[in-house]
Amino acid sequence: MAATRYARSRVGRPIVRRLLDWTFTVPFLLVFGLLLGVFDPLQRTARLFGQRPQEIVAGALQIGLVWAFRVCGTRIAIERSPEVKRHTPYIVIANHQSMFDIPILGALFFSNFPKYVSKRELARWIPSISYNLRRGGNALIDRHDRIQATEAIRELGRTAQARGVSVVIYPEGTRARAGELGAFRPAGTLELLTAAPALAVVPVAIDGAWRLLRHNLLPVPFGTRIRVHIGAPISRSRDENQLALLERVRTEVDAALRQWREAEAREHRSHGGWKDGRHGGRD
């Protein structure tokens, strides 16, 4: 009898969870759309007064987008090295799980004014985000034109070092849709390292962001937990081995992901093999 009740509760939980997802997705989408609509003209107005005012408004937008996910119960756990300083330029090398990696890192590195290497298509149709990509000093690349992409990354590196702003690059080249760490494609990152030799490298691992988009926002899983590891800056030297540096970053990212996955597996077992949305479990 007890076993029957337990089995019924297990069957009912996914249904309750999906209802919970949809209940909070609707207000989230309203808040998310409102932020994009409001910050587009704000950025355009700020840009009239110079690059830095626009950067501050764009940073506020990214903080707002991260805040919007709280409507869906999203929680972010951050491990941040105390050696990472405010108002300091870095090359941030991170794994890539979701388009929402960008506002998350933009919020966490707000005072470092991060710029991004982004595919050109994203600069065309998304309110606020596309404007920031076009006018915020980022590198827009054509994946089918290697020469153009290389020069755009080089220019971003030179400009970032000259202005004292940061750059975020995702060496995997594409999103890991199931959260697995892919191979690093070194070409773009090596160009960036060469163009900005004075900027220290900050390894970043992010996990859980892929779950936000596993249903393409319809719905957003309620209670998703995202973890971010921001490692200690790695100093640069003239005689550095850039490939070894990149492998060092990948090793640190992989170690953080493995540690989180092992902890999650233990937590999963402690819940009897079932996890609700608040722990970011699969459907």
Q: Which domain holds residue 234?
A: 2-279
Q: Look at the alpha carbons of 96, 68, 263, 219 in this order and tell me if their dihedral is positive or negative.
A: negative
Taking all residues of the chain, what is their mean pLDDT, rounded to a whole number? 89
* Assessment of whether the complete model's pTM goes beyond 0.85: yes
Beta pairing, strands 200-207 & 225-230: antiparallel
* Mean pLDDT confidence for 59-88: 96
Is residue 195 within 8 A of residue 154, CB to CB? The reply is: yes
pLDDT level of residue 203 (50, 70, 90 thresholds)? very high
Q: Please write the tens of the pLDDT for every residue from 149-195.
A: 999 999 999 999 999 999 999 998 777 667 789 889 999 999 999 99
Q: Which residue has the tokens 């991260």?
A: 66
Both tokens assigned to 184: 């690093």
Both tokens assigned to 23: 């209940």
Residue 174 is predicted with a pLDDT of 72
Residue 12 is predicted with a pLDDT of 52
* Mean pLDDT confidence for 64-85: 96
Task: Give percent of the chain with pLDDT exceeding 90.
Answer: 72
Question: DSSP string of the chain?
Answer: -HHHHHHHHHHHHHHHHHHHHHHHHHHHHHHHHHHHHHHHHHHHHHHTT-HHHHHHHHHHHHHHHHHHGGGGT-EEEEEE-TTPPTT--EEEEE----TTHHHHHHHHTGGG-EEEEEEGGGGSSSTTHHHHHHHTTPEEE-TT-HHHHHHHHHHHHHHHHHHT-EEEE-TT-S--TTS------HHHHHHHHHH-TTSEEEEEEEESHHHHTTTTTSSPPTT-EEEEEEPPPBP--TT--HHHHHHHHHHHHHHHHHHHHHHHHHHHHHTTT---GGGT---
Domain count, the chain: 1
d(Cα 232, Cα 47) in Å, to the nearest integer? 33
pLDDT level of residue 273 (50, 70, 90 thresholds)? low
Range scoring the smallest mean pLDDT among 43-57, 68-82, 168-182, 250-264: 168-182
Range scoring the smallest mean pLDDT among 10-24, 27-41, 202-216: 10-24
CATH number at residue 32: 3.40.1130
Residue 272 is predicted with a pLDDT of 60
